[in-house]
């Protein structure tokens, strides 16, 4: 079901909206839990009153749950969806309201949570709640066997021959869920009335119709995985053949894998060229920063050297004035004062030299630390792009092998098991 949510204030206005009967044919307050009040408006006022003890302006989390219009959805499905949502978003145990609306023959629900934790008097954080709700919504479509909306369809289930480099990398990072493969094949089956239409619908989702090793129809993924059509749609092989025709009319799995390799390999060559360009552009500002840092560090050292020379000259002049000349100087030698002053000058000269060395050492170490931090960034960028290039070269080599011998090195037919992850792209 479609899940739309927002953090908001204005609890009284929201309560009025939820109880509106002008726009809705039926309004049913299904649940009020965790509040002292037992009516909707009282609960909304209670949530607002609690928020006044905090600095939170968006003290409630409002969610609408919209199932497909053609589906008859039981109350338990809405309740379980709300339970899953509050657990994933960290709202478990928070006061909750559920209201059902019926309008123009459709039934949907609204759920409202108070974000304020009464124990700590702080608002529950909701990081990335839109992304989490999108994942939950897709799970609800798959679990209930509903037709997936176009916007929710897995981006991996597209024709990869039209992927950009970013889309290819994204598909590689995320696993291909066997449940979504099954739902996609069922969707293509329901919208197609012959083999050609079914094959076209599959190719738009990165799957290819082929003749299986056991004389049945299979869908072959871009990675060379074969899924038995009959098993995916829950029908017998004869019924599948009645609509799609003789399996022998289609390529074998080996020929299909070879065809995939021939069509995908050129695309990967373009991805490699694009990846090289992106890598060069990514490292360019870091290299420029490295040169700039080099010049800045050189200027700092020259400035320190100049100031130390100037200070040394001043100190030497001061020390030389301590040694008297002429009769006074001779008297200082006779009384021993001269040797004491000379010893003092020698000690000050030694400690001054140590001070200057320590200052330069501290400056050099500080600059080394800056350069090491930049080097870490440069190394991370280089390693990241090196891994990307290595993976692309491996992919290209594998697809060239697929084009040559029609083998993907993977298992073949009947991979329609319902494991939570299933076959993965790029593994």
Residue 110 has phi, psi (to 5 degrees) of: -120, 135
Assigned domain for 213 exists: no
Assigned domain for 298 exists: yes
**144-153, 216-225, 275-284, 349-358: lowest mean pLDDT where?**
144-153
pLDDT of 49 strictly over 90: yes
User: Measured between alpha carbons, how far is 349 from 133 in angstroms, rounded to an integer?
Assistant: 72
Regarding predicted confidence, which is higher, 18 or 182? 18
Mean pLDDT score across all residues of the chain: 83
Give the long-range contacts of residues 292-300, CB within 8 A, separation 24 or more.
Answer: 293/370, 293/371, 293/374, 297/367, 297/370, 297/371, 300/363, 300/367
User: Measured between alpha carbons, how far is 32 from 99 in angstroms, rounded to an integer?
Assistant: 9
Regarding predicted confidence, which is higher, 399 or 242? 242
Model pLDDT for residues 275-290, shown as the tens digit of each residue: 888 888 888 899 899 8
Which of these three, 95, 118, 152, is where a domain ends? 152
Of the ranges 60-64, 182-186, 221-225, 331-335, the best mean pLDDT one: 60-64
Three-class DSSP labels, 129-195: HHHHHHHHHHHHHHHHCCCCCHHHCCCCCCCHHHCCHHHHHHHHHCECCHHHHHHHHHHHHHHCCCH
Assigned domain for 233 exists: no
Which of these three, 122, 152, 182, is where a domain ends? 152
CATH number of the domain where residue 78 is located: 3.30.930.30
Bridge-partner residues for 252, per DSSP?
211
**Residue 6 and residue 146 in one domain:** yes
User: Measured between alpha carbons, how far is 195 from 246 in angstroms, rounded to an integer?
Assistant: 9
Confidence (pLDDT) at 413? 43
CB 159 within 8 A of CB 201: no
CA distances from 402 to 157, 339, 415 (A): 20, 92, 19
Q: Which of 272, 257, 224 is nearest to 404 (CA)?
A: 257
* Mean pLDDT in residue range 366-376: 88
- pTM here is 0.45
Domain that holds residue 66: 2-152
Assigned domain for 320 exists: yes
* Mean pLDDT in residue range 258-278: 80
Assigned domain for 323 exists: yes
User: Measured between alpha carbons, how far is 133 from 30 in angstroms, rounded to an integer?
Assistant: 22
CB 405 within 8 A of CB 216: no
User: Measured between alpha carbons, how far is 32 from 238 in angstroms, rounded to an integer?
Assistant: 53
How many of the other CB atoms lie within 10 Å of CB of 226? Answer: 25
Assigned domain for 313 exists: yes
Assigned domain for 414 exists: no
Model pLDDT for residues 279-326, shown as the tens digit of each residue: 888 888 998 998 999 899 999 999 999 999 999 999 999 999 988 889
**163-172, 222-231, 284-293: lowest mean pLDDT where?**
163-172
Per the structure, the count of domains in the chain is 2
Assigned domain for 221 exists: no
Which of these three, 152, 172, 195, is where a domain ends? 152
**Residue 148 and residue 288 in one domain:** no
């Amino acid at each position: 079901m479609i899940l739309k949510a927002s953090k908001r204030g204005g609890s009284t206005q929201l309560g009025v909206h939820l109880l509106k009967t002008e726009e809705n044919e039926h309004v049913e307050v299904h649940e009020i839990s965790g509040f002292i009040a037992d009516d909707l408006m009282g609960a909304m006022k209670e949530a607002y009153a609690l928020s006044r003890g905090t600095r939170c302006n968006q003290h409630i989390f409002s969610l609408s749950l919209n199932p497909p219009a053609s589906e008859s959805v039981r109350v338990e499905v809405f309740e379980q969806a709300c339970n899953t949502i509050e657990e994933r978003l960290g709202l478990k145990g928070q006061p909750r309201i559920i209201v059902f609306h019926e309008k123009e023959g459709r039934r949907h629900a609204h759920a409202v949570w108070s974000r304020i934790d009464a124990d700590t008097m702080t608002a529950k954080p909701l990081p990335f709640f839109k992304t989490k709700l999108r994942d939950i919504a897709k799970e609800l479509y798959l679990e209930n066997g509903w037709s997936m909306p176009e916007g929710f369809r897995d981006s991996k289930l597209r024709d990869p021959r039209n992927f950009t480099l970013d889309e290819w990398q994204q598909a590689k990072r995320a696993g291909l869920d066997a449940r979504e493969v099954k739902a996609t094949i069922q969707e293509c089956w329901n919208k197609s009335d012959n083999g050609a239409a079914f094959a076209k619908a599959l190719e738009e989702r990165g799957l290819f119709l082929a003749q299986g090793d056991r004389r049945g129809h299979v869908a072959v993924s871009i990675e060379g995985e074969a899924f038995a059509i009959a098993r995916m749609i829950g029908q017998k092989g004869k019924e599948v053949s009645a609509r799609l025709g003789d399996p022998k009319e289609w390529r074998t799995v080996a020929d299909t894998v070879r065809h995939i390799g021939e069509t995908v390999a050129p695309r990967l060559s373009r991805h490699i060229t694009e990846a090289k360009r992106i890598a060069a552009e990514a490292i360019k500002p870091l290299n420029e920063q490295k040169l700039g840092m080099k010049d800045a560090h050189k200027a700092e050292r020259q400035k320190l050297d100049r100031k130390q020379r100037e200070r040394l000259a001043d100190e030497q002049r001061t020390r030389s004035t301590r040694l008297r000349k002429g009769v006074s100087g001779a008297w200082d030698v006779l009384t021993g004062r001269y040797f004491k002053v000379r010893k003092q000058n020698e000690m000050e000269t030694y400690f001054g030299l140590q001070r200057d060395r320590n200052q330069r050492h501290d400056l050099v170490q500080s600059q080394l630390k800056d350069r090491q931090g930049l080097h870490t960034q440069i190394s991370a960028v280089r390693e990241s792009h090196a891994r990307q290039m290595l993976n692309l070269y491996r992919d290209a080599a594998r697809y060239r092998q697929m084009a040559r011998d029609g083998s993907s090195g993977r298992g073949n037919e009947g991979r329609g098991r319902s494991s939570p992850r299933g076959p993965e792209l790029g593994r």
